């Protein structure tokens, strides 16, 4: 494979809308201009990243959306469709729809003002597409809009991710899958599944929004904003992911599974020596990002032998359950006066029985819910006596946390009001931050309100 080209534009300070407009134009111009991608009358689809109900850096900045669509329109596109679907976690847990996120964050208005239609992928038709060289997935219910369009663009943000280290151009395509396929291959085969999707079709251009990037425990509301004031773009999604990863201070870009396997399977170039950069060099722009806790220390450091009052028995769990169970364990650890037992994985060992009240046993995830031996006996006792918490799901995303909330409410540990207030506080924090980045932003829910309302 020949050299790939990645375009970078960096601003010294936080850019306003006018400067973002110039940056979007410049980052595309450095690759030959929008006319080299879009011909008059073309049908253009953009896969954005608006997976959860929080402003940037969780989602793409609406000003980038506006300027990018405006540029496509100027090139003469006949039809432009901005597409997205929320994550399973958002749908089940945060109780928000794609449409309401696009509306609340001002993305819908920005896209329409610039000349695009907005499509929630849940509403799109699906085309069954075979992937003969797929190694993890052999057939995909591909969104018809993205399948039929003349030109496909990928518009992610620059973020760390607790499960995949970073989420950039390739990981953004998890969002094109239907819910069942989002669940499918979610373990150590996840990155291969994502790479397989690019064997159907590669984006013609990937533009990464790094105006306000994210570090720490991303890619949702627990991540920390890290302003980078930059945009990156390339025809090669693997190359732009590799360069962005390097700009985030991650020395070995092959730590990112989609980048490593993407290069191995011929989707693009990850070798930085084989990538030409137009604009400032990686060394000129790179900053050290705080990695997610799952990549700062061995995974078991977060789960086993950590909390004095939470006895975790883990046997044959995958990294999804390692991560999710550590969150559950952290929550249980708050109730210091109680002892808990958390059983995780396909074969947790409990040779001498449980070490706490049966009501404080939590069987976590489908694997533990179907484990045999004395775990089965423990489950049977829990069911017979109506005690403890059996939390199925694979991965046990929101069903388990929702069940945990109910479990804690029932036992008087928290109230629903406390949980609601906690969520509202988290949302308010993200809103307050983004208003410092873009003082012109008014979320839909606050429009028409006066101070003090």
By the criterion CB under 6 A, which residues form the site for ligand SF4? 187, 317-318, 320-321, 345, 365-367, 394-395
Select 119 or 321, whichever has its Cβ closest to ligand SF4: 321
Task: For tokens 């996120």, name the residue.
Answer: 101
Cα dist from 303 to 44, 220, 253, whole Å: 45, 21, 27
Which tokens go with 62? 């609406």
* Min separation Cβ 364 and ligand SF4, Å: 8
Of 114, 117, 121, 116, the C-alpha closest to 50 is 121
206 or 304, CB closer to ligand SF4? 304
What is the secondary structure of 166-191 as a DSSP string? Answer: EE-TTGGGGGGS-HHHHHSS-STTHH
Decide whether 166 or 325 has the Cβ nearer to ligand SF4. Answer: 325
Q: How far is the CB of 328 from ligand SF4 (least distance, A)?
A: 12
- Residue placing its CB nearer to ligand SF4 in the complex, 230 or 369: 369
Nearer to ligand SF4, 372 or 423 (CB): 372
How many CA atoms does the CB half-sphere of 226 hold within 13 Å? 24
Give dist(CA 265, CA 270) in Å, integer.
11
Q: List the structure tokens of 102.
A: 């696009």
Q: Which is nearer to ligand SF4, 318 or 390 (CB)?
A: 318
Query: Any idea how long the chain is?
Result: 453
User: Residue 268 CB, nearest distance to ligand SF4 (Å)?
Assistant: 29
Q: Provide, rounded to whole angstroms, the least separation between the CB of residue 346 and ligand SF4.
A: 6
Q: Which is nearer to ligand SF4, 218 or 365 (CB)?
A: 365
Q: Which is nearer to ligand SF4, 293 or 394 (CB)?
A: 394
Which of 69, 1, 12 shows the shortest CA–CA distance to 270?
Answer: 1
In angstroms, the Cα distances linking 147 to 44, 151, 154 are 11, 10, 13
| 397 contacts 324 by C-beta, under 8 angstroms | yes
Least Å distance between CB 348 and ligand SF4? 10
Report which DSSP code applies to 451: T
CB closer to ligand SF4 out of 70 and 313: 313
CA distance 36 to 228: 27
Alpha helices in 304-415 (DSSP H): 319-333, 365-369, 374-385, 398-410
User: Minimum Å distance from CB 259 to ligand SF4?
Assistant: 23
Q: How far is the CB of 327 from ligand SF4 (least distance, A)?
A: 13
Minimum gap (Å) between residue 368 Cβ and ligand SF4: 7
Residue 161 contacts residue 211 (beta carbons within 8 Å): no
Minimum separation from the CB atom of position 39 to ligand SF4 (A)? 45
Q: Which of 94, 237, 88, 236 is nearest to 163 (CA)?
A: 88
Smaller CB separation from ligand SF4, 394 or 409? 394
CB of 326 to ligand SF4, least distance (A): 12
Name the residue among 314, 319, 325 with its Cα closest to residue 299. Answer: 319
């Amino acid at each position: 494979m020949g050299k790939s080209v990645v375009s970078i534009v960096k601003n010294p300070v936080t850019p306003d809308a006018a400067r973002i407009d110039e940056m979007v134009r410049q980052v595309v111009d450095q690759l030959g201009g929008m006319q080299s991608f879009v011909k008059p009358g073309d049908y253009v689809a953009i896969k954005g990243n608006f997976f959860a109900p929080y402003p940037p850096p969780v989602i793409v900045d609406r000003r980038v959306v506006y300027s990018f669509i405006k540029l496509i329109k100027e090139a003469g596109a006949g039809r432009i469709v901005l597409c997205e679907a929320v994550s399973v976690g958002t749908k089940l847990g945060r109780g928000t729809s794609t449409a309401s996120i696009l509306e609340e964050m001002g993305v819908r208005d920005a896209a329409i003002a610039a000349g695009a239609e907005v499509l929630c992928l849940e509403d799109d038709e699906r085309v069954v597409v075979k992937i003969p060289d797929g190694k993890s997935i052999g057939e995909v219910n591909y969104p018809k809009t993205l399948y039929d369009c003349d030109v496909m663009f990928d518009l992610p943000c620059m973020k760390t991710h607790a499960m995949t280290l970073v989420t950039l151009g390739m990981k953004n395509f998890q969002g094109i899958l239907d819910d069942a396929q989002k669940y499918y291959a979610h373990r150590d085969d996840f990155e291969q599944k994502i790479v397989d999707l690019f064997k159907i079709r590669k984006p013609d251009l990937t533009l990464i929004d790094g105006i306000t990037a994210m570090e720490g425990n991303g890619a949702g509301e627990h991540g920390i904003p890290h302003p980078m004031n930059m945009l990156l773009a390339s025809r090669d999604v693997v190359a732009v992911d590799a360069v962005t990863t390097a700009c985030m201070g991650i020395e070995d870009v092959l730590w990112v599974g989609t980048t490593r396997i993407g290069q191995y399977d011929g989707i693009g170039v990850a070798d930085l020596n084989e990538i030409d950069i137009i604009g400032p060099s990686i060394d000129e722009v790179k900053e050290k990002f705080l990695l997610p806790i799952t990549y700062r220390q061995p995974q078991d450091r977060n789960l086993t032998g950590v909390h004095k009052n939470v006895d975790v028995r883990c046997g044959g769990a995958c990294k999804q359950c390692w991560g999710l169970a550590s969150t559950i364990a952290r929550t249980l650890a708050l109730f210091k006066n109680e002892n808990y037992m958390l059983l995780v994985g396909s074969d947790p060992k409990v040779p001498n029985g449980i070490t706490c009240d049966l009501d404080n046993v939590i069987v976590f995830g489908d694997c533990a819910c179907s484990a045999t031996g004395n775990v089965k006996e423990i489950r049977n006792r829990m069911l017979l006596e109506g005690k403890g918490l059996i939390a199925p799901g694979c991965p046990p995303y929101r069903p388990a946390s929702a069940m945990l909330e109910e479990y804690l409410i029932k036992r008087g540990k928290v109230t629903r009001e406390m949980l609601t207030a906690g969520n509202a506080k988290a949302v308010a924090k993200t809103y307050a931050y983004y208003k410092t980045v873009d003082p012109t932003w008014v979320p839909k829910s606050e429009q028409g309100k006066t101070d003090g309302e």
